[in-house]
Structure 1
């Protein structure tokens, strides 16, 4: 339509996407010694739950980001997602299981199921009541009881979609999903597994963490480039949100707190880094 209108003499301007800016809100120590914080999720009650890969534990932070209680798990938790008001799910590296944990009055291990092979990211789709799990070269969808529903492995031409799928973020507003691949790509897929677009950029090395902001802007972190890029809904780079000057190392986890417009970052550190986001 834009091309047709232009050929008829109309001036059509591109949609202006406002860039986000980030201001450091604070650094919050969650462990006395260095650890790898590989997952963060926000809960409906204003608390946060994090995956501490190094110490094999899931930790809860209160609304002020102070460490509350924690629970030990039987493998290295590589990610964590909310699956209800009082429950989270995590993938346990080393034993290849999805573990459900109650985060009510106290933290308690609940059910679990085996996924058969190594994975990293786990995300929950409330509309389908299902889990999306990033295996090495595919994304698998499971029921909460562990029944495999389908996999996204190849495109329409029969080529593999992923080399090393790491994290996945869902955009419920347009029924799409985004997957980071450690080979340097970020892929947007429809819910039926069709590729919408693929993004790669020399500024983003070893893409890993993901989250979706209001306005359908995607944030992706690079654990090889130690930065966070902003990408629009059509797969175009908007700019770098956080760069080398922040001195963040191995940015594994990104989580956005919509209520407070906060970006929480988990990395190879003993702290959660929190930024306030606003439009420029």
Structure 2
């Protein structure tokens, strides 16, 4: 859910999409990107942006607070991310924590 509580962000695993919904369920926006295959975990950070795991693309991407555009691809398979499943931002340590499905690994990395 957005920080203001007016939007809900939902991943659509089988159609490679992130949906932005109004509180009553109306679709406000549908986001797709080549860097986002089989989206899974999603997390809204304190600044309002949205982090999404690309389970199939082995990526972590950052969306704007509306869920309409990609701000960055934060991590890829080159960073040893394989099937990321969950993501969380820890503001006190400026770290992103990523859980992976198949290997039972948790990656923690600092962000600037």
State TM-score, norm by structure 1: 0.37
Q: Distance in 1 between matches of 2:107 and 2:58?
A: 13
Residue in 2 aligned with 1:246? 79
Describe the superposition over 1:117-136 as per-residue Cα deviations: whole angstroms up to 9, x where unpaired. Answer: xxxxxxxxxxxxxxxxxxxx
* 2:105 matches 1:274: no
Describe the superposition over 1:53-107 as per-residue Cα deviations: whole angstroms up to 9, x where unpaired. Answer: xxxxxxxxxxxxxxxxxxxxxxxxxxxxxxxxxxxxxxxxxxxxxxxxxxxxxxx
Length, aligned pairs only: 109
Q: Which runs of 4+ in 1 moved over 4 A?
A: none
Q: Distance in 2 between matches of 1:277 and 1:177?
A: 25
Q: Alignment partner of 2:111: what SS?
A: strand
User: Where does structure 2 lack aligned partners over 5 or more consecutive residues?
Assistant: none
Describe the superposition over 1:120-167 as per-residue Cα deviations: whole angstroms up to 9, x where unpaired. Answer: xxxxxxxxxxxxxxxxxxxxxxxxxxxxxxxxxxxxxxxxxxxxxxxx
Residue in 2 aligned with 1:172? 3
Q: Distance in 2 between matches of 1:256 and 1:185?
A: 21
* 2:95 matches 1:262: yes
Map 1:60-79 → 2, pairs under 5 A: none
Residue in 2 aligned with 1:143? none
User: Where does structure 1 lack aligned partners over 5 or more consecutive residues?
Assistant: 1-169
RMSD: 1.4
State TM-score, norm by structure 2: 0.87
Describe the superposition over 1:160-200 as per-residue Cα deviations: whole angstroms up to 9, x where unpaired. Answer: xxxxxxxxxx2232431100001111001121112121100
Q: Alignment partner of 1:171: what SS?
A: coil
Q: How many Å apart are 1:202 and its aligned residue?
A: 1.4
Q: Distance in 1 between matches of 2:84 and 2:92?
A: 23
